[in-house]
Amino acid sequence: MMKLKKYILIWAIACVMFILGGCSSSDKGDLLFLNGVEDYNNQEYASAIEKMTNAETEGLKRYKIGDLYTYLGHCYSEMNMYGNAITYYQMALDQDSDKVEYIVNLAIAYRRSGDNERAMDLYIQALEINPDYAELNSSLGSLYILENNPEQAVIYFNKAIEQDPGLAVAYGNGALAYALIGDFEKADEYLEQAIVRGYSNADAIRERIDALRNK
């Protein structure tokens, strides 16, 4: 099942490179941070971690320390070192406890590490701040499927669809949720809506729906 993007990025690489040109040699921490972001975007995670750790030591003038911690979390997450990723995402969240992106990053790291309960708590916390976040509602629905609670999953998929009628993944995973509660008419309807919107996992969802139908 598709969920949120693995994590929330702060800047596109083009923006980072534009800003890099405006840093002076005295902004050593900022330069190290931006070079680390470039390494991250080039999938050179160990190098990015080294540069960002040095940037923390040097100190930042232009950028928030929470964003540096976020990128360190991203690097460790890409390396499947979720314990370290969680540590840095939590450090970012400690800097700004109401920043939805920080909460979602931490939630995804917990989910990827297998702690669905903690991930769910954080998703709900993020939705309390931004209840109209369609992709997050869809992700929470997917998590409820994993937790064998398709009835609750349906609620969140429908919230996501109400907020973003074009969100194919909400229809696709919503189709599976309806099949799990025995409503195959709705499941077929939602899967067709997902296909119309370009849902890439339709064949796998159809197989699961058919298997449930034929039980």
Query: pLDDT of 24-71, one tens digit each?
Result: 555 899 999 999 999 999 999 999 999 999 999 999 998 999 999 999
Residue 66 DSSP class? H
Nearest to 78 by CA among 117, 103, 121, 109: 109
Using the structure block, give the residue that is written with the tokens 């969680």: 86
Q: What is the DSSP letter of 120?
A: H
Mean pLDDT, residues 67-78: 96
Q: Interhelix angle for 116-129 vs 134-146, to 10°?
A: 160
The pLDDT value recorded for residue 17 is 44
Domains located in the chain, CATH noted: 131-215 (1.25.40.10)
pLDDT on residue 10 = 43
DSSP state of 149: -
- Portion of the chain with pLDDT greater than 90, in percent: 87
> What distance in Å separates the CA atoms of residue 132 and residue 149, rounded to the nearest whole number?
22
Amino acid symbol at 193:
Q
CA-based nearest residue to 184, from 158, 164, 214, 152: 214
CA–chain centroid gap for 126, Å, is 12
CB atoms within 10 A of CB 12: 10
Whether residue 13 is predicted with pLDDT greater than 80 in this model: the reply is: no
- pLDDT tens per residue across span 136-184: 999 999 999 999 999 999 999 999 999 999 999 999 999 999 999 999 9
69, 35 contact by CB (below 8 A): no
DSSP-derived 3-state class of residue 97? coil
Higher pLDDT, 12 or 140: 140
**Pair 186, 155: CB distance under 8 Å:** no
Q: What is the spatial distance between Cα 151 and Cα 80, in angstroms, rounded to a whole number?
A: 32
